[in-house]
Amino acid sequence: MKIENLKLKIGIICYPSVGGSGIVATNLGKALAALGHEVHFISYDRPFGLDVKKPNLFFHQVSINEYPLFKYPDYTLPLTETILMVHQRYTLDVVHVHYAVPHATAALFAKRILATGGAVPPKIVTTLHGTDITLLAQDPNLFTVIKYSIERSDGVTAVSHSLKSDTISTLQTDKPIEVIHNFYTPEKITQSPSAIRKKLKISDDDFLAIHLSNLRPVKRIPDLLQIAKLMKGRKNFKLLILAGGDFAQFRPLVKKYGIAKSLAVLENIADIGSYINASDIGLYTSETESFGMGILETMAYGKPVLATRAGGIPEVLRDGADGYLFPVGSTTGFAKKLAELMANPDLTAALGRSAASHAREKFSSGAIVRQYLEFYCHSCDKRTN
């Protein structure tokens, strides 16, 4: 059967928050539903941006009851129960879990319970996103459970070759892992660059660098602020941080560096496209990054990126073509290149055009969603041609 004619029932288990893995999972589910597959999201909250009034989209909330006996409320068991309930009602072909724990663990437990009862269970596909391996699998409290959950999944994907090799070396596993990169489709721009700059109280001539992240330690926000400090002599350099976390912890450093006038911070912005579109360049200083969704988003709106040569970032951003890569912590390298690009708007624009076409060609929704569908079929033993 041709993949175009196949209609699957797919459960998607993800974190609902504004965060890399949750956004990728939500966009994947939405794209699958638009292709006619029936998609059931299972999480503790409705994923950000999910409109369940759209055809083929369902959301099943995991409800967690608190009992005085339990000091720590458990999520894995109610999640398992919800997977069972959804499968019993809709007969899923695949449960696609994003993030190894506890999602894959719960899905495997549900599968085992179904098989024991004689039912045909769904296939479990696990997508590794990064910190599930680079952070959590380092924890002896979680290592064995993560290794088991990955090895017993029917299919495993990783969002970059870098994460695949981190997984193999961390878990010492020979489980086959398919690399399927993340994707991003730019949204329609709803606010003009001038309108955004007016809001930010910066002029149309200012050189605006943008950073999007959850501000966790791995993002090395102090490096970003250090770069702004090194650029202080250039009055028209501005830095905008779209923060998916609380920036208050960094205010003392902003004060110490005397960079408050060149910095704008906005929290939990949904319309990221308009802000990226109003910027000149992206800045990403992460210690490590399995992929770097913020980088891809910035590129997709036609902006070049300066980033660290860490983890999977070089798989997304081509050094010298879409921007430039620097060693982790090389704040002077970043600042020197920023100054060069500020003086050369033609080069900045050319790098941005290259970034946009690379994002479109290599990380388009159409190509990546098809790879997932083929992978589901392969894991379900459904033949396609």
Binding site for ligand GMT (CB under 6 A): 19-21, 24, 99, 129-131, 134, 159, 182, 214, 216, 218, 288-293
Q: Would the CA dihedral through 88, 93, 96, 102 be positive or negative?
A: positive
- Sequence-ordered list of residues with C-beta below 8 angstroms from that of 329, at least 6 positions apart, any chain: 220, 223
The least CB distance from residue 164 to ligand GMT, in Å, is 13
Residue 79 backbone dihedrals phi, psi, to 5 degrees:
-65, -45
Q: Give the residue with the Cβ less far from ligand GMT, 42 or 230.
A: 42
3-class secondary-structure state, position 124:
strand
For 113, the token pair is 């319970």
Q: What Cα–Cα distance (Å) separates residue 309 from each residue in 288, 292, 314, 319, 364?
A: 8, 11, 6, 9, 23
Least distance to ligand GMT, CB of residue 117, Å: 33
- Compare residues 47 and 130 and give the one whose CB is closer to ligand GMT: 130
Q: Which is nearer to ligand GMT, 25 or 259 (CB)?
A: 25
Task: Please identify, using beta-carbon distances, which residue of 19 and 304 lies nearer to ligand GMT.
Answer: 19
> Which alpha helices (DSSP H) does the chain contain, by range?
20-34, 76-90, 105-116, 131-134, 143-151, 161-171, 193-199, 221-230, 251-257, 272-277, 293-300, 313-316, 331-342, 345-362, 365-380
- Rounded to the nearest whole angstrom, what is the least distance from the CB of residue 2 to ligand GMT in the complex? 29
Which residue lies nearer to ligand GMT by CB, 202 or 215? 215
Q: What is the smallest separation between the CB atom of 46 and ligand GMT, expressed in angstroms?
A: 17
CB 339 → ligand GMT: shortest distance, Å?
28
Residue (171 or 293) nearer to ligand GMT, CB: 293
In the bound complex, what is the minimum distance in angstroms from residue 167's beta carbon to ligand GMT?
12
Helix (H, G, I), strand (E, B) or coil at 285: coil
